[in-house]
Amino acid sequence: MSWAVIAKALLAGAMIAAISEIGRRLPATAAIVASLPLVSVLGMVFLWQAKPDAENMAIHSAATFWYVLPSLPMFLAIPVMLRSGMNFYLALALGCALTVVLYLAMMQVGPRFGLRL
C-alpha cells in the first residue's frame, strides 16, 4: 500500500474523529461540519492529482451532485424513526436501505433524462 493511500485514509479518519468529538458537545456544529462537502472536495483534489482531466472532473462533479440527492431523505427518515421510539441501529439500517433503493432508482431514471451517472 502506498504512502499516499495511507495518508488519505488517515485524513478521512481524522475528519470522522473530529466530527464525532465536536458532536459530543455541539451536535448542531458537528452536523454543519459533517454536511460540508469535505470528502467530495478532497476526493476531487486527489482525483485531479491522479488524472488532471477537466472533462473527467466535470463528469465526477456533476454525478456527485445527482448522487447526493438520493441520500438526503435518509437524514429526514432517521430522526422520524428515532422519535417514534425505534432502535437506533434499526433506524440507521432502514435509512441506509432507503438510500440504496433511491441510489438504484437514480441509476435507472437518471440516464433517461440525459444524466451521465
Which residue did the predictor score with more confidence, 33 or 92? 92
Q: For residue 8, give the nearest of 36, 41, 33, 53 by alpha carbon.
A: 41
* Structural domain containing residue 103: 53-117
Q: For residue 103, give the nearest of 76, 52, 66, 62 by alpha carbon.
A: 66
Residue 92 included in any domain: yes
Residue 9 included in any domain: no
How many residues belong to the chain?
Answer: 117
Asked if pLDDT for residue 116 goes beyond 90, the answer is no
**63-86: per-residue pLDDT in tens?**
999 999 999 999 999 999 999 999
Asked if pLDDT for residue 1 goes beyond 80, the answer is no
Lowest mean pLDDT among 88-92, 96-100, 101-105, 112-116: 112-116
| One-letter identity of residue 54 | A
**100-115: per-residue pLDDT in tens?**
999 999 999 999 998 8
| Rounded Cα–Cα distance for residues 22 and 15 (Å) | 11
| Rounded Cα–Cα distance for residues 92 and 76 (Å) | 11
Q: What is the pLDDT of residue 39?
A: 84
| Rounded Cα–Cα distance for residues 12 and 4 (Å) | 12
CA-CA-CA-CA dihedral for 77, 79, 84, 85, to nearest 10: 120
Residue 94 included in any domain: yes
Residue 11 included in any domain: no
Which residue did the predictor score with more confidence, 57 or 4? 57
Residue 39 included in any domain: no
Residue 108 included in any domain: yes
Question: Does the model's pTM come out above 0.85?
Answer: no
Tell me how many domains the chain contains.
1
| Rounded Cα–Cα distance for residues 96 and 106 (Å) | 15
| 75 and 35 Cβ atoms separated by less than 8 Å | no
Q: What is the pLDDT of residue 117?
A: 79
Residue 111 included in any domain: yes
Residue 41 included in any domain: no
